[in-house]
Amino acid sequence: MTKVEKISIVGAGLVGSLMSVYLAKRGYKVSLFESRPDLRKADISAGRSINLALSNRGWLPLQEVGLKEKAEELTIPMKGRMMHNEEGQLTFQPYGKSGQAIYSISRGGLNALLLDAAEANGVEIFFNQKCNEVDLNNNILHFEDKKVSSDIIIGADGAFSIIRQAMEHTSRFNYSQQYLEHGYKELSIPPTATNGFKIDKNSLHIWPRGNFMLIALPNLDGSFTCTLFYPFEGEQSFENLQSDEDITAFFKKQFPDAYELMPDLLNDFHSNPTSALVTVRSSPWHKNQSLLIGDAAHAIVPFYGQGMNCGFEDCRVLNDLLNKHDDHWDLVLPEYSKIRKPDGDAISDLALKNFIEMRDQVADESFLLRKKIEAKLHELYPEKWIPLYSMVTFNENIRYSQAADFGKLQSEIMDKVMATPNIESQWEQLDFESIVNQLPPMV
């Protein structure tokens, strides 16, 4: 490969912007192309989640590019799940050990911070530039009014990536896309009259209702962004929530405490879109001198709060490989595809499974006991037994694929533990050492 100097990134969302900062810091001439206007000047939030949960795998890359402190100013820690039952009773489940939290952050605020950092590091950003086509053999991007050639092309253009679409037409490229039967709609709980929070600000709130759920994440202005995950079609579905009466009756019955806090419910419900949730799998994540990062490579459902975190980790892994191979991209690209793909697949599967846990099991007594026993194992043997959620969320040194493999073994062991007679009353007498010793050592 000729010496790489000029890199073009398509998509200035969260992941493309972060990647541009990493690469500009390495001395490359980086151009970032974004189809939409500059979000720092125009409100383009419609249709995407307003806030996201940032966790360790996202924090580490932000720290590496020097943005951790600035990002911290945009966040609210969420230390656990606050479950709301049909009567409005609350149960709090910590996410991890004391001091561990996931962080609610504004998508727009974080994206703006990354764009500022990109510009400050010399990245040239071109807004309102939709890439229509890519020539993967000659490294040329086509826009409405120009063609751009580069040494490397990075597709960071999201779940419906134009760069990936070009790869789909090449030999031995695998691709699949799967929609969930559920869609989502964003709603809101406004702040109190004095800009305070109407419910606990340091929790991720969940109203689990079996086949569907409502969640809420806090915003710095005292409001909460709520998301209703609900089937598109069927008896209980968005299709059957049309009239004001239907919507009001549904919320009063299913989420009575939330309903009381949502004065703009009907307006939000009618004006905000009902959006689809897609899982995209592809491989390899590179073709010739082009590669995919973030949702372009691996769009996942949001139930582990890992889509952006995983995309940020892609950037860190790519940067580590550039270090390892002294910027020899011909070595970096195949290795990136090889090591990242199993991790993308693992988090994709875990995210799908976690939907069932969040909407259904978190309210189940036996599930809660299981979690309690696992927490005890972790407390007694912190290095040996790390709960799956903690491996994924708080342990950026454990790969997603390793976490998934370990989680499977833990689950098999816990199935046996939960079958112990009278486990509800006897669990504190379990032989915790023999349980933990059933696991192979973590390497």
Q: Which residues of this chain interact with ligand FAD, rule CB under 6 A?
A: 10-16, 33-36, 49, 52-53, 130-131, 156-158, 162, 184, 227, 294-296, 302, 305-309, 311
CB of 329 to ligand FAD, least distance (A): 20
Residue whose CB is less far from ligand FAD, 64 or 186: 186
CA distances from 154 to 5, 176, 287, 296 (A): 14, 20, 10, 10
End-to-end C-alpha distance for the chain, whole angstroms? 35
Residue whose CB is less far from ligand FAD, 313 or 374: 313
CA angle 18, 19, 25 (to 5 degrees): 95
CB of 242 to ligand FAD, least distance (A): 22
CA distances from 14 to 77, 88, 344 (A): 20, 36, 17
CB of 51 to ligand FAD, least distance (A): 8
Least Cα distance to 296 among 42, 2, 14, 63 occurs for 14
Residue type at 17 in one-letter notation: S
The strand ranges marked E within 374-419 are none
Least Cα distance to 19 among 336, 341, 390 occurs for 336
CB of 297 to ligand FAD, least distance (A): 8
Q: Give percent helix, percent strand, percent coil of the chain, each to the nearest 5.
A: 40, 25, 35
Residue whose CB is less far from ligand FAD, 83 or 154: 154
280 bridge partner residues: 177
CB of 77 to ligand FAD, least distance (A): 14
CB of 33 to ligand FAD, least distance (A): 5
Residue whose CB is less far from ligand FAD, 262 or 280: 280
Residue whose CB is less far from ligand FAD, 296 or 435: 296
CB of 294 to ligand FAD, least distance (A): 2
Q: Which residues contact 298 (CB under 8 A, 6 or more apart)?
A: 280, 281, 282, 310, 344, 345, 347, 348
Residue whose CB is less far from ligand FAD, 157 or 343: 157
Residue whose CB is less far from ligand FAD, 182 or 370: 182
CB 92 within 8 A of CB 144: no
CB of 263 to ligand FAD, least distance (A): 23
- For 80, phi then psi, to 5°, come to -175, -175
